[in-house]
Structure 1
Amino acid sequence: MSQSPSSVDVSPPAAGRGPVRAVVFDLDGVVVDSSAVMREAFSIAYAEVVGDGPAPFEEYNRHMGRYFPDIMRLMGLPLEMEEPFVRESYRMAHLVPLFPGVRETLETLRSRGVRMAIATGKSGPRARSLLDTLGVLGLFDRVIGSDEVPRPKPAPDIVLQALGHLGVAPGQAMMVGDAVIDLLSGRDAGATTVATTWHGGDVTALLAAGPDLVAHAPNDLLAHCPAVLVR
């Protein structure tokens, strides 16, 4: 059965979960539409370090969400690609937009008292710089990169660290992501997992991972995040 673009698919709630008081977001493909800039940065880094030939961006894209050095190891590419990739990513950061509806959704969640964090495969400094450039850094209570946790996604460390900073139990939190490793990280942390489809990636694989919720537009999240009661 077809679904409208703004619908939300819901699985039965897990036992012991309470009202949502915090939302942890992945960054790329969820909050920001960075694919074009990452493709260009990856191509430049590949040409500088590896040499001629087409850069295997599609394979890189399949590992999206992981820490860049981990992707290089998985692809058998030189770790030296990280320096030019990061350099070019910073240079072109002003070309990365927020997805439509993200800013409004974040502002509404903030107004409702929902605490928010970013848990990203990027390094922390690069993620915070990008969000600052976009003017939304202040909407998040915490931004954590893969270089700031013992084990990056798909391990639960980054989600657990974010929730620890927010002071919210996993049973009262959502992990929102566009990649299977986001869902695995959130699930193992004990949070409700939300798969997003507005990034245009491999939605079939994402749904096969069994998320608790599926959001087709950013404001779909609002239906599950009422105003937080002041204790």
Structure 2
Amino acid sequence: MTGLLVVTAVPAEAEAVRAGLTDPTVTVAPVGVGAAVAGAATARLLALAEAAGRPYRAVVSAGIAGGFVERVAVGDTVLATRSVAADLGAESPDGFLPLEALGMPADLLGVGSAVPADPGLLDALRTALPAATVGVVLTVNTVTGSAASTAALAARHPDAVAEAMEGYGVAVAAAQAGLPFAELRTVSNPIGPRDRASWRMREAFAALSAAAVALR
């Protein structure tokens, strides 16, 4: 059995994680942007490791994220209580309907549109990162970029602290493999009207390297 698999979207995130690692048994793999590619690539990595007789012990989705204003600040570290597919569902005259309201499971395991973090893994990360904000992390296919969409998303998910694009896909792959899962993010920008001038990528990557010490 091998150690932890940490999945990021892009190489820059993987490099930031590796810069802070102290455990040589942790594998870090950039797999691409979006829940579909992240889920497919994670499932492949897990299947290959299992076939080789060296299965992973747990999976973490890691990277940078947008943070909800007044819930987290730029540069903060976030740990997900659960990873939610925020736009997987249907529109209706009364508003957005998640899969559960439609009576459809996301997969044959009945995972649904939200995957909780493994309690033991989350507790270990919380202990190692006591300053981290703990809350729901949303997975979206289209990153929020207007005041109206931000307000709607915040109202629909009052316990959400951040949004990213891969966590739910990685979580479903881990659930299919029967492995513990967690999501760790650092905040690079406030969620809201798209303003690249407000993004602080350097600070977010530095925070990600600092948080990576907990990945062991």
TM-score (norm 1): 0.30
Q: Which has the higher strand share?
A: 2
Q: Which of these two proteins has the greater Rg computed from alpha carbons?
A: 1
Q: Which has the higher contact order (CA 8 A, sep 6+)?
A: 2
TM-score (norm 2): 0.32
Q: Which has the higher helix share?
A: 1
